[in-house]
Structure 1
Amino acid sequence: MSVTVFIQGRNGVTRWQPSKRWLLLPIILMATGTGIYQYSTERFANQQAKVDENKQLRQQQKQQVVELKTATETQLASLVTHVAKLQAKITRLEALGQQVAQNNLLDDQFDFSTEVGIGGLSEIGNGVELSQLIDEMNKLASRIDNNNVQLSLLETVASNLHIDEERYISGRPIDKGWLSSPYGLRNDPFSGRRTMHKGIDFAGKEGADVTATAAGVVTWSGRMLGYGELVEIDHGNGLRTRYGHNKSLSVNVGDVVAKGDKIASMGSTGRSTGPHVHYEVLRGKQQIDPQKYVYRKAS
């Protein structure tokens, strides 16, 4: 098939018969345009999908930032509350220390009165910077350390004020009972011979409490030849007391006991004829008559 084209010009009609290539040109142009259109459409769709994806990602990130901010504010509010509680506890600690110092007439040497006034915002956590909060916590830690040092010194001083009273040996090592054998020469209950009795015996009910006659440190708690179950307490200044023939012991070597503390239960262990406490007072390594300590008034 052939196509003939007649073109009217000034010089007349011109005849032009295109070849088959010219006939294929419109088809090629149409196919090319269709391909370009499809490519552009796909590219636009891909770009739109990426835009939508980025938009969704930004929305997620924005939500995460909001959640992180909320969590941070909650934690900060919790820290502020914790600091407020610490401040309140320190205030009570300072008040207690000041009271103890006044009771012992030492308030002029120990100052617990600084920075006791505490204030705060009406809404907990609002307007508080983390650096500010950390600084406040560091100040609290410093105040706690300072107060602990002062209270330790105060405790030592207060203890020293009363240590002489506690170490003052007086009274009997039992609440109920009677003096069954005094200090000095006596007939030995086993051999009948005249021997030196280097302590005082207090008879009573088996299992009754045996108490310290003064404060001190336990230097012996266990069995000793002749004494049975024995407790020995060092009261300082070269003075010691011994409590023998016990049924059981309530203290260990190294324990610090106060005047009147239970140290044992009355028994009849060792060289004994019945339930009693053999009570001795030693100055240095020598037993002395404990009677003057037993019957003197407590300081």
Structure 2
Amino acid sequence: MSVTVFIQGRNGVTRWQPGKRWLLLPMLLIAAGAGLYQYNQLRFETQQASADNERQAREQQQRQVKQLKTATENQLSMLVTHVAKMQAKLTRLEALGQQLAQNYQLDEQFDFSAEVGVGGPSEYGSSIELDQLLSDMERLALGIDKSNTQLGLLETVASNLNIEQERYISGRPVGKGWLSSPYGLRNDPFNGHRAMHKGIDFAGAEGTDVIATGAGVVTWAGNMFGYGNLVEIDHGNGLRTRYGHNEALSVAVGDVVAKGEKIASLGSSGRSTGPHVHYEVLRNGQQIDPKQFVYRHAG
């Protein structure tokens, strides 16, 4: 196959017939153009894919950041709620402690208003600072621990005050009655001989309530020679009281009785001439004059 090219010039028409090499040139150009196009297309697709991957990675990071932010905000909200509960507990502890201190006149020793826990943002919509929140929670925890410690000490002091007040022996063992025989030497009502009377007798109507003159533990509740139906109470610190000649007993050994509690009914059991209660106070096992306890003011 041959190609003839006619070229119009000033001197007429010139015929040119290219060789095979000239015929291959367009094909080479077309092939080169197609290759360049494919290269550019592939490069474009590669860049597009890389851009898509980067975009997807950014979107994934944004989603993770959003999820982390949401989770953090939820956790911080829970922490704020926890701080609020701690504040409420601390306020309640302080109020209770202050009331107890005032009731027992110890407010000078226990000042629960000195430290008040504050923490966490209080304005709606304000930002939450984690470091500040943790600091507030630590301060609140310390405040609650301090208040609990103070309440424990206060409770111990108050309990000791109550115990000492209850154990404080004072008053008469009967609500209604009269002193019929004092402590000391007297003529024995049965034989007329001089004898040591180691207690005080309070006479009254049979069945009258016999009451404990101080709180303690019942160490004897039953018949004892000479005493008839006897109640003995240990008040601690080496002090005991005895209540003899009762008609009936209202307590048993091991019972814990309060000051002023009924322990028996007045009678005339044992070595007795009539309804009365024989009242003794013993210190370290030895009877002493109960008069100092009968007539002293209640603790």
Using the TM superposition, give the Cα deviation of residue 83 of structure 1 relative to its aligned residue in structure 2, in angstroms.
0.6
- Summarize deviations over 1:137-165 as a string: whole Å, max 9, x none: 12212212322332233234334434444
Q: What are the within-5 Å matches in structure 2 for residues 42-53 of structure 1?
A: 42-53=42-53
Q: Structure 2-normalised TM-score?
A: 0.55
Say if 1:157 and 1:36 are closer, same or farther in 2 by CA, change over 3 A.
same
Q: 1:144 and 2:144 equivalent?
A: yes
- What is the deviation of 1:68? 2.0
Q: Which amino acid aligns with 1:136?
A: D
Q: Cα deviation per residue 1:192-239 (whole Å; 9 max; x = unaligned)?
A: xxxxxxxx9979xxxxxxxx9457xxxxxxxxxxxxxxxxxxx45699
Deviation at 1:40, TM superposition (A): 1.7
Shift in CA distance, 74/109, structure 1 to aligned 2, threshold 3 Å: same
Q: Secondary structure at the match of 2:106?
A: coil
Counterpart contact for 1:166–1:259, Cα < 8 Å: no
Moved more, 69-78 or 109-118: 109-118
Q: CA deviation at 1:65?
A: 1.9
Output the CA distance in 1 between the equivalents of 2:123 and 2:286. Answer: 74
User: Could you tell me which residue of structure 1 aligns to residue 107 of structure 2?
Assistant: 107
Instruction: Give 1:78's aligned residue.
Output: 78
- Say if 2:228 is the partner of 1:179: no
CA-to-aligned-CA distance 1:113-155 (integer Å, 9 cap, x gap): 1355979867667322112211211221221232233223323
CA distance in 1 between counterparts of 2:50 and 2:131 reads 41
Per-residue deviation, residues 267-297 of structure 1 (Å, max 9, x unmatched): xxxxxxxxxxxxxxx988xxx479999xx98
1:96 aligns with 2:89: no
What is the CA deviation profile of residues 77-114 of structure 1, one whole-angstrom value per residue up to 9, with x for unaligned ones?
Answer: 21111111111111110111111111111111210113
Name the counterpart of 2:87.
87
SS state at 1:178 partner: strand
Residue 7 of structure 1 deviates from its aligned partner by 4.2
CA distance in 2, matches of 1:258, 1:59: 78
In the alignment, residue 38 of structure 1 is paired with which amino acid?
A: Q
State whether residues 119 and 136 of structure 2, in contact with CA within 8 Å, keep that contact through their aligned partners in structure 1: no
- Taking the aligned partners of 2:120 and 2:142, their CA distance within structure 1 comes to 20
Gaps of 5+ in 2: 169-213, 241-253, 259-281
CA RMSD, 1 decimal = 4.3
Tell me the residue number matched to 1:33. Answer: 33
CA distance in 2, matches of 1:34, 1:120: 70
In 2, the alpha carbon distance for the partners of 1:64 and 1:258 equals 70
| Post-superposition CA distance 1:7-62 (Å, at most 9, x none) | 45556665544321211111111112112212222221232222223222222222
Unmatched runs of 5 consecutive residues or more in structure 1:
184-199, 204-211, 216-234, 240-256, 262-281
Identity of aligned residues (%): 55
Structure 2: distance between partners of 1:97 and 1:170: 28
Mapped to 1, the partners of 2:217 and 2:119 lie a distance apart of: 55
Contact (CA 8 Å) 2:7, 2:15: kept in 1 or not? yes
Q: How does 1:1-299 map to 2 (within 5 A)?
A: 1-9=1-9, 16-116=16-116, 126-164=126-164, 165-166=166-167, 172-173=218-219, 178-181=222-225, 213-214=233-234, 235-236=236-237, 259-260=256-257, 288=285
Structure showing greater Rg: 2
Corresponding residue SS for 1:81? helix
User: Taking structure 1 as reference, are residues 71 and 171 closer, same or farther at Cα in structure 2, changes over 3 Å only?
Assistant: closer
Secondary structure at the aligned position of 1:66 is classed as helix
Tell me which amino acid in the other structure corresponds to 1:56. Q
In structure 2, C-alpha distance between the alignment counterparts of 1:40 and 1:171, rounded to whole Å = 106
Aligned length: 213
Partners of 2:147 and 2:126 lie apart in 1 by 30
Match of 1:224 in 2: none
The aligned counterpart of 1:219 is none
1:56-77 deviations in whole A, cap 9, x for unaligned? Answer: 2222222222222222222212
